Amino acid sequence: MIIVMKNDAKEEEIRAMVDELSKNGMKVQINNGVQCTVLGVLGDTHLLNENTLSRRSGVEKVMRVQEPYKKSNRKFHPEDTVIDVAGMKIGGGTFSVIAGPCSVESKEQIESVAKSVLKSGACIMRGGAYKPRTSPYDFQGLEKQGLELLLVARRATGLPIVSEIISPKHVEMFEMVVDIIQIGARNMQNFDLLKEVGKTNKPILLKRGLSSTIQEWLMSAEYIMSNGNENVILCERGIRTFETMTRNTLDLSSVPVVKQISHLPVMVDPSHATGISSLVAPLSLAAIAAGADGLLIEVHNDPACALCDGPQSLTPDEFEDLMGKIRPMVSVMGKHLNQLGEN
């Protein structure tokens, strides 16, 4: 249920309403917007009578929320959520480019890619240390050593780090090392993992599942948020369809759909969506036009020899070229391109 307070509602009226709801066993989320205060009410709201509540002083209107996603619902939180990553603002009119290799392979590799993507204009670096590979015979990542190498690259460049977690038992370690914890497509519905990262206050990059609907994706965000962590960034990375020309089908319509129904920032990963490096640039530009708040792009110093996802990885030169196209597109959309060290 949502209670919209009048724009001239008094502090005492808001407090009285929150107290009454809390006494009835409800959890109340208070959103102080520019126009008015919106109270998001969670719990067994069937026990509440909306006609009675709407007659309390200071109340503009009372609405029941039919959707199962509550905390991620824009009705609960009308303004865009802005997430702080190492002092940088993600969402709410900013645009962020995350770049780096699929996997951390060596100190030389991660340092050289980190330095080159920073120079080209990325504001966050990515690198997988624990890889959820389809085949157990494929490279599984450098694991703990991979995370340590990401820290070395962070020290060398200052770039915040995002890396994928695959097990609830690694949460504490990830909390100490990374700036954003990535939940990959394959783990989007690993509910134990979602609950555990929900108990931290690290920003979470939640990728859409391979065959998940938008509602299922938002319900996964809800698992994280209902456990206390509201710092969720969604990432569209393509879904499975009958099409075989691309690795996945980039569902760009999910970007404006999610922006309408949710307040969470949405990024797009054109690398995993297409699986083909020559398609990364056009779809990056399309994602900006669709209203995305950022991009996640795989960049490798030597894609032909990459241990994972070489065919979709850009070379540092290709990434530099793409950044030259991203900049004007971001400004056409009226957004600010985040750069490291500007805050």
**Of residues 75, 77, 207, 263, which one binds ligand PEP by CB under 6 A?**
207
Per DSSP (E only), the strands in the chain are 2-5, 27-32, 37-42, 59-63, 83-85, 88-90, 94-100, 124-126, 161-165, 180-183, 204-207, 232-236, 266-268, 294-298, 336-337
Does 128 participate in binding ligand PEP (rule CB under 6 A)? yes
* Span near ligand PEP by CB under 6 A; candidates 20-28, 67-75, 150-158, 178-186: 178-186
**Of residues 202, 259, 272, 300, which one binds ligand PEP by CB under 6 A?**
272
Residue among 74 and 300 whose Cβ is closer to Mn ion: 300
DSSP string of 47-93?
A: GS-HHHHHTSTTEEEEE---SS--TTBTTT--SPP-EEETTEEESSS
The option from ligand PEP, Mn ion, none interacting with 209 (CB < 5 to 8 A, set by class) reads: none
Does 184 participate in binding ligand PEP (rule CB under 6 A)? yes
Asked if 47 contacts 59 with a C-beta cutoff of 8 angstroms, the reply is: no
The residue number whose beta carbon is nearest to ligand PEP equals 184
* Span near Mn ion by CB under 5 A; candidates 61-69, 102-110, 145-153, 171-179: 102-110
Q: How far apart are CA 77 and CA 42, in angstroms?
A: 13
Per DSSP (E only), the strands in 147-293 are 161-165, 180-183, 204-207, 232-236, 266-268
The residue number whose beta carbon is nearest to Mn ion equals 102
The option from ligand PEP, Mn ion, none interacting with 184 (CB < 5 to 8 A, set by class) reads: ligand PEP
As given in the structure block, the two tokens for residue 138 are 């494929």
* Span near Mn ion by CB under 5 A; candidates 7-15, 54-62, 96-104, 145-153: 96-104
> Where does this chain bind Mn ion (CB under 5 A)?
102, 309
- Residues contributing to the site for ligand PEP (CB under 6 A): 102, 128, 164, 184-186, 207, 237, 269, 272
